[in-house]
Amino acid sequence: MNIQQLKEAARIISEGGLVSFPTETVYGLGANTLNSVAVAKIFKLKERPSFDPLIVHIASVDDLKMLTNEPSEAVIRLAEKFWPGPLTLVLPKCKLVPDIVTSGLPTVGIRMPDHELALNLIKEAKCPIAAPSANKFGQLSPVSAEHVRKQLPGVDYILDGGTTTVGIESTIVSIEGNVCTLLRPGKITLDDIEKALPGTFVFNTTKPAKLVAPGLLKSHYSPNKPLYIYNRANLPLPESSGLILHNPGEVPSSDCKLIYTSKTGDQLEIAANLFSALHTMEDDPAVKQIFIEPVVEKGLGIAIMDRINKAAYKYQPSA
């Protein structure tokens, strides 16, 4: 880790600027949570609608107390078990958190990222950092500094930490009393969370109708060229196609650009390479449309299919 670069990034955050930084999931576009003007710059640069709340990143479980009033025993238990890690907890917010961060919601999404650079940036800047993914609204999430440069050349600073390891966004759950609701699937599954909480907890996978945050919508994370979920009916593939497969097995006879996200079908590997594969297809001018193989919707496969379905949604004939 380059200390000079870290200090420079922290200075920019303290002075109200925007810094893109790596986490274990995807790259974030960060600002000082407590500075509403700085947070407004995130929405402007990303072209993000103001009704889409941001996730606040902290560097210790203790920082929770600054953002939410009296976290319950269950919340502390989840934080201690899964943090630092890819789990966002949506909790009642306290007054200190500006409304712009939560899009006016009475709750705030909080997580502690499992990445040395991110944690040190938060500590050095001495404030919780509000950060959505560092992409233009609705487009592919960035998993490298290069992806951030491509979509957000106007960012004040990028801390380059190489390619992220998890590769898809955090799991999001809201905790209200003894009710836990899955808002977005991720690497940490609802089963993992269920095991960590007392038997008295109730688990929901149906999102509350009143919540219309785009991360929860049907279309999101899309490449800028058509993406279709691949099946036998697509064969032979049209000319100038890109095909993303998750396991080298049967290769279609069609002439296409082929990318494997995994050599073994391992879900962790597929998740880690999913957005990179989509970015590579998006960047290749020879590829006019992309086909992507589905995965089995079990465990991490639920989160992988959530991203694939959202990325492909607007290109479906019925959309």
| Structure tokens given for 89 | 């907890």
Q: What are phi and psi of 129, to 5 degrees?
A: -110, 120
Q: Is 151 a binder of Mg ion (CB under 5 A)?
A: no
Q: What are phi and psi of 181, to 5 degrees?
A: -115, 130
In the complex, what is the shortest distance from the CB of residue 7 to ligand AMP, in angstroms, rounded to a whole number? 25
Q: Is 172 a binder of ligand AMP (CB under 6 A)?
A: yes
In the complex, what is the shortest distance from the CB of residue 68 to ligand AMP, in angstroms, rounded to a whole number? 11
How many residues contact Mg ion, by CB under 5 A?
A: 1
Q: What are phi and psi of 133, to 5 degrees?
A: -65, 150
In the complex, what is the shortest distance from the CB of residue 195 to Mg ion, in angstroms, rounded to a whole number? 28
Site for ligand AMP in 55-74 (CB under 6 A): 55
3-state secondary structure of 301: helix
- Of 16, 214, 226, 265, the one binding ligand AMP by CB under 6 A: 214
Site for ligand AMP in 103-132 (CB under 6 A): 105, 107-109, 132
Closer to ligand AMP by CB, 195 or 210: give it. 210
Q: Is 133 a binder of ligand AMP (CB under 6 A)?
A: yes
CA-to-CA distance for 44 and 31, rounded, in angstroms? 12
Site for ligand AMP in 20-49 (CB under 6 A): none
- Identify the CA nearest to 158 among candidates 257, 66, 45: 45
Q: Is 133 a binder of Mg ion (CB under 5 A)?
A: yes
Measured CA to CA in angstroms, residue 204 lies from 157, 174, 194, 198, 261 at distances of 39, 10, 11, 15, 31
Helix (H) or strand (E) holding 215: none
In the complex, what is the shortest distance from the CB of residue 143 to ligand AMP, in angstroms, rounded to a whole number? 13
Q: Is 98 a binder of ligand AMP (CB under 6 A)?
A: no
Closer to Mg ion by CB, 133 or 262: give it. 133
CA-to-CA distance for 284 and 249, rounded, in angstroms? 24
CB burial class (10 A; 0-12, 13-18, 19+) of residue 201?
middle
3-state secondary structure of 55: strand
Piece of the chain touching ligand AMP by CB under 6 A; list 76-84, 212-220, 240-248, 273-281: 212-220
Binding residues vs ligand AMP (CB under 6 A)? 52-53, 55, 90, 102, 105, 107-109, 132-133, 169, 172, 183-184, 211, 213-216
Binding residues vs Mg ion (CB under 5 A)? 133
